[in-house]
Structure 1
Amino acid sequence: MAFDQIWRSPAFPMWLTLAAAGFFALILLITLLRAEKSVANGALTVITLLAIAIAVAATARAYGPAGEAAPTEARTQAAFTASLPALSCLDDLAGDAVAAGCEKALFGAPDAAATAVSYTAARIDRLTALGDAATAEKSLTSDMKVLRKALERDRYGLVAHVLIARDGCTQFDCATFRSLTDQQQVAANMSSHLYDTLVARYAPTWNTPAMAAPPMPATGALAGLPPSMPTGKPTNAEFPSASSTPPVSIMNPEPPTAATRQAAPAANAA
């Protein structure tokens, strides 16, 4: 188990390179100090064999099942999620309330449903590539445990649909079940055809054109303005013209008004 962890470690190539470099330096130092022909030939032979061994180990690790497959699968998953962010709902980590809202995002359009099916098929392949559940448990990472649990949950029936349509599985016989620790929900979704039910529920809305929002009436737009702000509407008020307004000069005293004429006799009588 310890050797397997070291072999799969991302730092393994770096430590292997450092160890080889140190060994080569030691051999080179010995060769320079002892300039005998036999020693030099032996050192070159050892260096050549070690270089071949390191190249073989690096190649086996790069092209083995745990080497290049994981980065490729990670890039594929990232590409799927970028094309349809709702695919993150399939990890079943956000909770029941969010998952219920994700249903419309996954089945609200035909291209979204097709992408979800392809994404689920790729996730199934990732899990089954590790072998049966007992074998995979020895080297299963936390991400793969989350993936297996989400596939077993099969909230939207996508796993059941892929196994039926692509692999020809039934609820009683399916090779993929050996990679799961609990296949009861997947088998139940096969029996109830949950995926087909959800597609039938949302398919009538796929070709329905989106309804445009009704235009806001002018009165509604002006109702939110404060009373002091002009509305721009024309007014029917009548204003006096310039010819009807008497001339006023600041040099002449202001003529008395009716109120001042009535107040003057009252003051004289007093």
Structure 2
Amino acid sequence: MNSDLVTSLGLDLSSGTFTLPAWVAGVAAVLFVIVLLVAILRTSLSDLTGAVLRLGVLAVVVVGAWLWFDHTTESRRAEERRALDARALALTARALETGSPLACLDAVVGDNVEGACERSVFASPEAVAAAASYIEARMALLSEGHDFAARRDPSYDAVLASLRRAIEDDRFGLAAQVLASRDGCTAETCDFFALVNEPARLRANLKDGTYDTLVARYAASWPLRPRAPAALSSAPPAGGSP
């Protein structure tokens, strides 16, 4: 089925919802008036009364169905937006936890603070993993928020502006690393580039391997993991007395 035709009819195949377009409602109203006029011209007064009543009932049913579809669509739109907002708040709370370096991945900071942030983010394997997980969650939120804005609420795109800029800046190459490892992206081609306005920094970090460079720089200073104690043998020493 032609996708443009499906969209013009108000059917959203991705979400399984239906919104009655204004032009369909207009056509239905015109047809209703035409049928009513034909009924008036072709029937007697007694028949006309019954016809008008039947048409009135039909009109009530049509309008009721339209209102129900519209209400259902609006409810789903509001529910989906609340879910996206809740995820954004949860990520913000995660970044603002005491002692968390994740806030460094958002804020615009000076050179001195930038260096301290870099050391915090790459202070340990656990810190790097937490930062990468945080960035991946924000990228997923941008992707789903962009889809929501395109399908249901164009005004939501403005809400994503600061999130989009933070990912575009890609401080420390974490977003580029996610794209390379998760999506197989290269500096030349990546579907995610369509979700941002300025992918130049992402391209550069993919090309230069910024993340790998920083990991190599700090890995030598990571604390050594304690070795597991060697298992003690329960066998008696060779040649021992029974």
TM-score range, shorter chain: 0.5 to 0.7
How far does the alpha carbon of each residue in 1:211-256 deviate from its partner, in whole angstroms, 9 at most, with x for none? Answer: xxxxxxxxxxxxxxxxxxxxxxxxxxxxxxxxxxxxxxxxxxxxxx
The aligned residue for residue 101 of structure 1 is 116
In the TM superposition, structure 1's runs of 4+ consecutive aligned residues that sit over 4 Å from their partners are: 52-55, 134-138
Deviation of the 1:188 alpha carbon = 0.8
CA distance in 2, matches of 1:169, 1:90: 21
- The two structures have a TM-score, normalised by structure 2, of 0.57
The aligned residue for residue 127 of structure 1 is 142
The aligned residue for residue 230 of structure 1 is none
The aligned residue for residue 191 of structure 1 is 207
2:146 aligned partner, one-letter code? G
Deviation of the 1:82 alpha carbon = 2.1
Deviation of the 1:193 alpha carbon = 0.6
CA distance in 1, matches of 2:154, 2:165: 13
Is the CA contact 2:187–2:206 (under 8 Å) kept in the aligned structure 1? yes
CA change 1:68–1:130 in 2 (3 A) is closer
Q: Which runs of 5+ in 2 are unaligned?
A: 1-59, 226-242
Deviation of the 1:58 alpha carbon = 6.7
Is the CA contact 2:102–2:121 (under 8 Å) kept in the aligned structure 1? yes
Return the index of the structure with the highest Cα Rg: 1
- Partner SS state of residue 197, structure 2: coil
Match of 2:158 among 117, 136, 141: 141
CA change 1:78–1:104 in 2 (3 A) is same
2:184 matches 1:168: yes
Deviation of the 1:167 alpha carbon = 1.1
The worse-fitting range, judged by mean Cα deviation, of 75-84 and 105-114 is 75-84
CA distance in 2, matches of 1:89, 1:168: 26
Is the CA contact 1:121–1:162 (under 8 Å) kept in the aligned structure 2? yes
2:100 matches 1:85: yes
1:78 aligned partner, one-letter code? A
- Partner SS state of residue 151, structure 1: helix
2:173 matches 1:154: no
2:215 aligned partner, one-letter code? V
CA change 1:73–1:139 in 2 (3 A) is closer
The aligned residue for residue 18 of structure 2 is none
Deviation of the 1:128 alpha carbon = 1.6
CA distance in 2, matches of 1:205, 1:152: 29
- Partner SS state of residue 206, structure 1: coil
Give the CA RMSD over aligned residues.
3.2
- The two structures have a TM-score, normalised by structure 1, of 0.51
How far does the alpha carbon of each residue in 1:23-46 deviate from its partner, in whole angstroms, 9 at most, with x for none? Answer: xxxxxxxxxxxxxxxxxxxxxx99
Higher helix share: 2
Match of 1:118 among 133, 141, 161: 133
Q: Which residues of 2 match residues 199-214 of structure 1 at below 5 A?
A: 199-207=215-223
